[in-house]
Amino acid sequence: MRGRAFKAAAAAVMGAALSIAPAGAQIGVGDVETATEELERAAENAAAQNTVDPWEGFNRRSFHVYLFLDETILVPAAKAYRAVTPKKGRKGIRNFLDNAQSPVVLVNDILQGEFKRAGDTLGRFVINSTIGFGGFADPAGRMGIPKHTEDFGQTLAVWGVPSGPFLMLPIFGPTTLRDGVGLGVDVAIDPLFHVETQAANRARYSRFVATAVSRREPLIEPLDDIQEKSLDYYASLRSFYLQARKREIANGRTSYEDLPDIGEYEEFDGLE
């Protein structure tokens, strides 16, 4: 039991080392400067709502630690990864990591009653795991089966559980009480978590590290632009995370006109 608890904690930390990346994956098309201004306005609106961030003092202190870890560990790792891995290789790795997450997405599709999307998830997993060379290619996408993501935080939201206070944690980054609980459940749902072998341990930890670096790499320039031009970087990221999560929970069925559009860098091809 002690070993399993330690393994769960370690897996959760590594898997969430860049939890801002899921929000970043919502980036769309537009002018970077205009998008940054929109982000700043959205952040000002969020900051005016005290209920959004009742623990702001703690969160801002944690944000400094989070930035330090990001700038000294993840960003150098992401830049090195970009330097040694060609664009097509990075896209293939993202495809592989997305495919490996399919069992977790499938469970959450079912828990949300999204049976058509569950069928899409299962179909994509079978097709990409076989003729897609283990998931590195995406023939399912070319067949018209769309990719999507789900997690237990979204499932809790669909069930009516409120998000709770916003949290900025030193390692986990931006989240909420609801999404933090959801992260732990997603780790437990992952079939690889339950395999007790040395090979499985290496695969599990390698995958979590690869996921963090792979998600951080395409966000290098967008986040640098936001940090440079934003009046309040913390408030901008807080607003962006909360609004991106709202759109994810809606599964694209709701139009949120206030969702900022950061601009599409070339490296974002294939993320959606």
The per-residue pLDDT for range 121-138, each reduced to its tens digit, is 999 999 999 999 999 999
Q: What's the pLDDT score for residue 140?
A: 97
Q: Structure tokens of 219?
A: 């966000």
Q: How much is the pLDDT for 253?
A: 57
Give the Cα-Cα-Cα angle 268, 156, 160 (nearest 5 degrees). 120
C-beta of residue 120 within 8 angstroms of C-beta of residue 126: no
Containing H/E element for 128? helix 115-130
Average pLDDT over residues 23-31: 36
Higher pLDDT, 46 or 66: 66
CA distances from 36 to 219, 226, 246 (A): 14, 6, 19
Q: What is the biggest distance separating any 2 CA atoms in the chain, rounded to whole angstroms?
A: 52
- Among residues 59, 42, 67, 109, the alpha carbon closest in space to that of 243 is found at 42
- What pLDDT does residue 45 have? 53
Is the pLDDT at 41 greater than 90? The verdict is no
Q: What is the rounded CA–CA span in Å between residue 103 and residue 207? A: 15
Sorting pLDDT into bands at 50, 70 and 90, what band is 101? very high
* 3-state secondary structure (DSSP) of residue 237: helix
79: pLDDT strictly greater than 60: yes
14/164: higher pLDDT: 164
Distance CA(220)–CA(269), nearest Å, equals: 15
- Is the pLDDT score of 4 beyond 50? yes
| pLDDT attached to residue 229 | 87
CB-CB contact of 242 with 52 (8 Å) = yes
Contact by Cβ (8 Å): 243, 176: no
Distance between CA atoms of 210 and 187, rounded to whole angstroms?
A: 16
Q: Is the pLDDT of residue 108 over 90?
A: yes
- Give the residue from 269, 270, 253, 262 showing the smallest Cα distance to 24: 262
Model confidence at 10: pLDDT above 50? no
- Taking a C-beta distance cutoff of 8 angstroms, is the pair 260, 26 a contact? no
What is the Cα–Cα distance from 26 to 28, expressed in whole angstroms? 6
Mean per-residue pLDDT for 43-48? 49
* Stretch 28-36: mean pLDDT: 38
* Backbone phi and psi for residue 175, each to the nearest 5 degrees, phi listed first: -165, -175
- pLDDT confidence tier of residue 149, bands split at 50, 70 and 90: very high
**Of 4-13, 27-36, 192-201, 236-245, which range is least confident?**
27-36
Q: Mean pLDDT of all residues in the chain?
A: 79
* pLDDT interval class at 27 (50, 70, 90): very low
Given a cut of 50, is residue 97 above it in pLDDT?
yes
- What are the CA-CA distances from residue 250 to residues 76, 120, 135 (Å)? 34, 17, 27
Predicted TM-score of the model (pTM): 0.76
